[in-house]
Amino acid sequence: MTTATYTVTGMTCGHCVSSVKEEVGEVPGVTGVEVDLATGLMTVESDSPLDTARIRAAVEEAGYEVADKR
């Protein structure tokens, strides 16, 4: 199992968190997504390493930005 962490910016409430989790959760290979609203920390679990660009695109699809991959 692979765990990658990112910083997501622009989220202001629980609805935003839900949107990000939903979009990232739909990326093929993703098995789990956790997002902390206060810090913007997003933890993505997958069976194998994923292309960061796919995760970034999903976050942007939800309407937010990946500031950096930690």
Rounded to the nearest whole angstrom, what is the least distance from the CB of residue 48 to its own copies in the complex?
32
CB nearer to its own copies: pick between 40 and 50: 40
Binding-site string for its own copies from residue 4 to residue 43, where x marks contact by CB under 8 A and - marks none: --------xx-xx--x------------------------
Least distance (Å) between residue 41 CB and its own copies:
19
Closer residue to its own copies in complex, CB, 10/29: 10
Spatial neighbors of 5 by CB under 8 A, at least 6 apart, are: 41, 42, 43, 44, 69, 70
Residue 64: strand, helix, or coil: coil
d(CA 37, CA 63): 15
CB contact at 8 A, 44 and 10:
no
Residues that bind its own copies (CB under 8 A): 12-13, 15-16, 19
